[in-house]
């Protein structure tokens, strides 16, 4: 499954705020076996968000937005999602109850002066028709999940702690993940020729046919470069996946050893 991430906020474009969210989401979903197809950063401008959503819907199966769920006029993510999907914006009673509950909690611990639901606070319960809200116990604005033409759209707050909590809450609700198993391993090798390594990895993937992906990443500089290898096995019993990864590692080290030995022999 392919994932697209849209980070929303003028502060991200200006450089005032570092886009930690996209980085964390990428690492988390990659560990589950997803492929990150696209990342986009846009400002708090509805039409720009709509265009980003339309592009991502062509490129990915899951689209995740972060930011723009709050009570201010500049928080326009949900209205942009509704516009992109040609959905009505409606007041969601479940979302409203979540917001009321959260403001009562904040009032009782003295964080706010009043728990009353103003028009601005109620705005966070106005969702695209068919969306499912998720309670936010860290901030206020609910996370949102909706399905549209076989694709999934997840809207998360921009505050990293809220984003992380709600993504973990929403992930188990994705039907595409039910019964899915993912096992991954990371290795480091002393080998600087990435083009030759790419050929070796491709041959290994062909030899061990199955749901396995192997990628290499250079680490370090100059003569100190090493290769970081990440192998991911999907949709296979854990024991078989681990056995496959052991076999892959043995094959890889053997091939690298042979290459290095041949180079020494021809000097």
Please, what is the average pLDDT of the chain?
A: 88
Mean pLDDT of 242-266: 79
pLDDT of 182 reads 67
Q: Is the separation of the CB atoms in 71 and 61 below 8 Å? A: no
Does the pLDDT value for residue 209 go beyond 80? no
Q: What is the mean pLDDT of residues 130-154?
A: 94
Q: How confident is residue 258, by pLDDT bands cut at 50, 70 and 90?
A: confident
Between these two residues, 182 and 241, which has the higher pLDDT value?
Answer: 241
44-85 tens-digit pLDDT:
999 999 999 999 999 999 999 999 999 999 999 999 999 999
Q: Give the residue ranges of DSSP H helices in 32-153.
A: 46-59, 77-85, 93-108, 119-122
Domain ranges in the chain are: 2-177, 182-266
CATH 1.10.10.10 fits 2-177, yes or no: no
Average the pLDDT over 250-261 and give the result.
Answer: 86
- CATH code, 182-266: 3.30.70
Q: 52 with 40: CB under 8 angstroms?
A: yes
Q: Per residue in 115-137, pLDDT tens?
A: 999 999 999 999 999 999 999 99
Residue 211 pLDDT > 80, yes or no? no
Task: Give the C-alpha separation, 6 to 46, whole Å.
Answer: 13
For residue 240, CA distances in Å to 106, 107, 180, 213, 246 come to 49, 53, 14, 15, 10
Q: Is 255 exposed, middle or buried (0-12, 13-18, 19+ CB in 10 A)?
A: middle
Rounded mean pLDDT, 185-197: 82
- Is this model's pTM higher than 0.85 or not? no
Question: Is 139 in contact with 121 (CB distance < 8 Å)?
Answer: no
């Amino acid at each position: 499954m392919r994932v697209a991430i849209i980070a929303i906020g003028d502060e991200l474009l200006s450089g005032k705020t570092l886009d930690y969210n996209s980085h964390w989401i990428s690492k988390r979903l990659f560990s589950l076996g997803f492929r990150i197809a696209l990342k986009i950063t846009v400002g708090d401008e509805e039409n720009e968000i709509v265009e980003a959503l339309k592009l991502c819907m062509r490129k990915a199966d899951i689209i995740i937005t972060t930011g723009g769920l709050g009570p201010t006029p500049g928080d326009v993510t949900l209205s942009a999602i509704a516009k992109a999907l040609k959905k009505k914006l409606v007041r969601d009673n479940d979302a409203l109850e979540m917001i009321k509950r959260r403001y009562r909690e904040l009032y009782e611990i003295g964080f706010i002066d009043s728990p009353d639901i103003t028009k601005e606070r109620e705005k966070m319960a106005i969702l695209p028709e068919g969306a499912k809200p998720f309670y936010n116990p860290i901030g206020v604005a609910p996370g949102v999940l909706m399905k549209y033409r076989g694709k999934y759209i997840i809207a998360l707050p921009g505050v990293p702690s809220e984003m992380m909590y709600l993504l973990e809450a929403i992930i188990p609700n994705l039907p595409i993940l039910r019964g899915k198993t993912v096992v991954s391993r990371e290795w480091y090798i002393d080998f600087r020729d990435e083009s030759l390594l790419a050929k070796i990895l491709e041959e290994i993937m062909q030899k061990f046919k199955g749901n396995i992906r192997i990628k290499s990443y250079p680490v370090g500089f100059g003569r100190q470069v090493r290769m970081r290898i990440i192998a991911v096995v999907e949709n296979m019993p854990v024991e078989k996946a681990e056995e496959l990864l052991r076999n892959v590692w043995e094959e890889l080290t053997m091939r690298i050893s042979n290459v290095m030995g041949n180079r020494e022999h021809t000097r």
